[in-house]
């Protein structure tokens, strides 16, 4: 009896494939050339990302410094998200980009699975799922004459949904040296630069009337906008940047009943809305209030009096909260049981940053991790 050959329609096959992890799709690229082309289309990339978002398929990276000083080399640890694995370290990722940093390297994002890494004038994009890395070109934006030195900071990444472009915005401060002979006092001014992945170039845009500050502890990119804390003429506020129209605007801080001298305030993406987590600067027992902006600020919930914790690091799938303990260990708080679980992962104090990202096929026109000499080492044990 002859066998009946059943052909699966291409659209059905691509629908099935769009639900697979990036690692599997990378293997399949080598098997079937038509599939390889299909995986690179905007439609498939978007569908794959939407499936991951719908199923809440999150991956976890931990940025940390293992040494005895803040200026030791930073690296990433990929944490297991499998049930029962207790977020153990799968492997450690060492990036040459981190090896000659002037300061602690800052991570912005993720944005559709992409991370933006920056230190001083160096900026890079990284897709940890496809293992593609791209160092951005130096800016060609002109500096004012007689500039003595220039610094860069407050970098943000985002997606322009109208043009399909990924953009990076950063603030530049130009310093002018004091010259007593000419009667000039030391001074500075600001510029803002915007990078486009499509054009692979920087341009200058208008400077907002307020000045952002600080480095993000959480993901400050939310639905087409990037957010910073900022200071105006006489008060503190929130600065936002719209990736589509490339304009800045200002928002008030939540009225949490205290001052920023007494409390830390960290911005974050909370289920697709701008959130702010507020907690006291002093004390060994910490309470955390989460505020959410949905037309106006409302307090979402409070976590009362957690012992021996320093700071929050990020929320997990069911509302659990990653924290850094007073012993500089990664711990997980479950609000439903009020259990505080030690995860056995340590770092130098206040160097940990949790990055929860969705797998993505978004190309960045860069080079492979191997070409960039990025090393992934299997972890020796859970505390490696």
* Alpha-carbon span 240 to 223, nearest angstrom: 12
Let me know: does 327 contact 342? Beta carbons within 8 Å: no
For residues 70 and 187, which has the higher predicted lDDT (pLDDT)? 187
For residues 219 and 1, which has the higher predicted lDDT (pLDDT)? 219
The per-residue pLDDT for 146 is 79
* Alpha-carbon span 298 to 301, nearest angstrom: 9
For residues 326 and 44, which has the higher predicted lDDT (pLDDT)? 326
The per-residue pLDDT for 150 is 86
* Alpha-carbon span 355 to 61, nearest angstrom: 5
- Looking at every residue in the chain, the average pLDDT score rounds to 87
Instruction: Note the pLDDT tens digit of each residue in 111-150.
Output: 999 999 998 889 999 999 999 999 999 999 999 887 888 8
The answer to which of 96-100, 102-106, 291-295 has the lowest mean pLDDT is 102-106
The per-residue pLDDT for 36 is 64
What is the mean predicted confidence (pLDDT) over 87-113? 88
Q: Look at residues 333, 216, 338 and name the one whose alpha carbon lies nearest to residue 275.
A: 216
Let me know: does 177 contact 185? Beta carbons within 8 Å: no
Share of the chain above pLDDT 70, in %: 87
* Alpha-carbon span 329 to 324, nearest angstrom: 6
Q: Is residue 381 predicted with pLDDT exceeding 50? A: no
Q: Is residue 276 predicted with pLDDT exceeding 70? A: yes
The per-residue pLDDT for 340 is 93
The per-residue pLDDT for 383 is 44
The per-residue pLDDT for 14 is 67
Per-position DSSP letters for 218-266, written without gaps between them:
S--EETTEEEEEEE-SSSEEEEEEETTTTEEEEEPPP--SS-TTTEEEE
The per-residue pLDDT for 249 is 96
The per-residue pLDDT for 382 is 42
Let me know: does 312 contact 321? Beta carbons within 8 Å: yes
Give the pLDDT band (50/70/90) at residue 61. very high
Give the pLDDT band (50/70/90) at residue 4. low
For residues 307 and 41, which has the higher predicted lDDT (pLDDT)? 307
Let me know: does 358 contact 56? Beta carbons within 8 Å: no
Give the pLDDT band (50/70/90) at residue 13. low
Q: Is residue 270 predicted with pLDDT exceeding 80? A: yes
Give the pLDDT band (50/70/90) at residue 104. confident
Let me know: does 221 contact 203? Beta carbons within 8 Å: no
Instruction: Note the pLDDT tens digit of each residue in 344-354.
Output: 999 988 889 99
The per-residue pLDDT for 31 is 65
Instruction: Note the pLDDT tens digit of each residue in 316-363.
Output: 998 999 999 999 999 999 999 999 999 999 998 888 999 999 999 999
pTM for the predicted model, two decimal places:
0.90
Let me know: does 51 contact 76? Beta carbons within 8 Å: no
For residues 80 and 38, which has the higher predicted lDDT (pLDDT)? 80
Architecture of domain 56-378: 6 Propeller (2.120)
Q: Is residue 296 predicted with pLDDT exceeding 50? A: yes
The answer to which of 183-187, 229-233, 298-302 has the lowest mean pLDDT is 183-187
Domain ranges of the chain: 11-55, 56-378
The per-residue pLDDT for 384 is 47
Q: Is residue 277 predicted with pLDDT exceeding 90? A: yes
């Amino acid at each position: 009896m002859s066998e009946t050959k059943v052909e699966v329609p291409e659209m059905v096959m691509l629908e099935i494939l769009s639900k697979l992890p990036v690692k599997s799709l990378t293997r399949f690229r080598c098997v079937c050339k038509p599939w390889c082309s299909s995986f690179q289309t905007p439609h498939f990339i978007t569908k794959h990302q939407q499936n991951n978002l719908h199923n809440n398929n999150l991956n976890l990276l931990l940025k940390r410094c293992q040494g005895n000083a803040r200026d030791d080399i930073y690296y990433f640890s990929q944490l297991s998200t499998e049930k029962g694995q207790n977020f153990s370290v799968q492997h450690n990722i060492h990036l040459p980009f981190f090896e000659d940093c002037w300061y602690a390297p800052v991570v912005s994002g993720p944005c559709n699975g992409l991370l933006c890494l920056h230190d001083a004038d160096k900026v890079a994009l990284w897709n940890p799922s496809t293992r593609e890395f791209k160092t951005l070109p130096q800016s060609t934006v002109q500096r004012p004459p007689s500039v003595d030195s220039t610094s860069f900071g407050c970098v943000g990444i985002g997606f322009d949904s109208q043009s399909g472009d990924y953009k990076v915005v950063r603030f530049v401060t130009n310093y002018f040296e004091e010259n007593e002979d000419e009667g000039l006092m030391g001074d500075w001014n600001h510029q803002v630069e915007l990078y486009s992945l499509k054009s692979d170039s920087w341009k200058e845009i208008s400077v907002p009337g307020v000045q952002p500050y600080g480095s993000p502890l959480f993901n400050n990119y939310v639905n087409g906008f990037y957010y910073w804390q900022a200071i105006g003429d006489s008060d503190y506020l929130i600065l936002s940047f719209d990736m589509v129209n490339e304009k800045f605007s200002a928002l008030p801080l939540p009225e949490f009943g205290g001052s920023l001298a007494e409390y830390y305030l960290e911005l974050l993406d909370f289920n697709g809305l701008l959130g702010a987590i507020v907690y006291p600067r002093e004390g060994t027992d910490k309470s955390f209030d989460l505020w959410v902006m949905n037309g106006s600020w409302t307090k979402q919930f409070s976590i009362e009096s957690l012992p021996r914790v320093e700071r929050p690091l990020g929320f997990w799938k069911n509302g659990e909260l990653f924290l850094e303990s007073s012993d500089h260990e990664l711990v997980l708080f479950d609000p439903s049981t009020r259990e505080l679980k030690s995860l056995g992962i340590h770092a130098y104090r206040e160097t940990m940053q949790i990055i929860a990202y969705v797998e993505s096929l978004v190309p960045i026109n860069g080079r492979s991790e191997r070409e960039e000499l990025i090393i992934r080492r299997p972890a020796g044990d859970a505390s490696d």
